[in-house]
Copies of this chain bind each other. A is one copy, B any other.
Amino acid sequence: MTNNSPIGIFDSGLGGLTVVRAIREALPREAVIYLGDTARVPYGNKSPALVLEYAQQITDFLLSSGAKMIVVACNTASALALEALRKTVEVPVIGVIEPGVETALKATLNHHIGVIGTIATVSSGSYETLLRKRNKTVKVISRPCPLFVPLVEEGWLEGDVTTAVIKHYLQPLNQAGVDTLILGCTHYPLLKPALQEQVNPGTVLVDSAEAVAAETARVLDKNGLRSDRSEKGTFNCFVTDLPARFETVAGRFLGTGLAGIETVHLP
């Protein structure tokens, strides 16, 4: 492992490519290796023990590919596996929850923060726990939105159905008067325009991808791990299954085409 080794990033599926995109924009000289666990997606309805087992297998794969740092670009895995990974892994490990929490605490004026995510992420209470740890006076209301991921994967980013689903899920958050809403799932940024229309006016939507990119830069600097190459870093993308419509969905998250995907088989 050297300074020019890649940053290892993973997600349960392809949503983490929104994080890849933000990191490659902020840190263009860093090489990136990404694994999307498409064979076992979604993690949001799995048990904590199983999500931890999967996260450990993927981290082993990224480390064996030379990763100098691990970015858990999956809210469910960040909520359920981050602490355990940090105990067993020698390179720096960051998740998406802490950067999202920091950004939300800077944005809120009325100290009412909303969190939306998968059933597993919301049930874990990870966002609430960390928000309250950093600021004892903050009020937090969380809500699982299990239909948002299939809506995004179906490509229904707007329209009557999407609006009706969003209204249903956001109603209690709007009623509680949150002024900041954490999008606690890497799929949700694609719904940002539709979400912005349904939240109370002036509500800030926190998309953690950019916050994660900033945290990645900070951690690389702190550990003296910044790449010293002068050209653009490479990007290698691995998946555990290559299903139908893969490239359409991947392109939607990454904002550009994908070439040279490799399929790997995890235990």
Is A244 part of the binding interface, using a Cβ–Cβ cutoff of 8 Å?
yes
Q: A18-42: contact bitstring with B at CB < 8 Å (1 yes, 0 no)?
A: 0000000000000000000011110
Asked if B147 and A244 sit within 8 Å, CB to CB, the answer is no
| Chain A 57-88 interface residues, beta-carbon cutoff 8 Å to B | none
Known contacts being A39-B40, A40-B39, A45-B153, is A119 close to B244, with CB within 8 Å?
Answer: yes
Is A242 part of the binding interface, using a Cβ–Cβ cutoff of 8 Å?
yes
Q: A160-175: contact bitstring with B at CB < 8 Å (1 yes, 0 no)?
A: 1100110010000000
Q: CA of A262 to CA of B237 in the docked complex: distance in angstroms?
A: 36
Q: How close is A264's CB to chain B, nearest CB, in angstroms?
A: 13
Q: How close is A227's CB to chain B, nearest CB, in angstroms?
A: 34
Asked if B168 and A161 sit within 8 Å, CB to CB, the answer is yes
Q: CA of A121 to CA of B120 in the docked complex: distance in angstroms?
A: 28
**Contact residues on A (Cβ < 8 Å of other chain), bracket:** 20 to 34
Asked if B151 and A244 sit within 8 Å, CB to CB, the answer is no
Q: CA of A103 to CA of B244 in the docked complex: distance in angstroms?
A: 30
Which chain B residues lie closer than 8 Å to A38 at the CB level? 46
Asked if A46 and B146 sit within 8 Å, CB to CB, the answer is no
Q: CA of A160 to CA of B162 in the docked complex: distance in angstroms?
A: 11
Q: Which B residue's beta carbon lies closest to that of A145?
A: B154
Asked if B47 and A244 sit within 8 Å, CB to CB, the answer is yes
A interface residues with partner B (beta carbon < 8 Å): 38-41, 45-47, 50, 119-120, 123, 146-147, 149-151, 153-154, 156, 160-161, 164-165, 168, 241-245
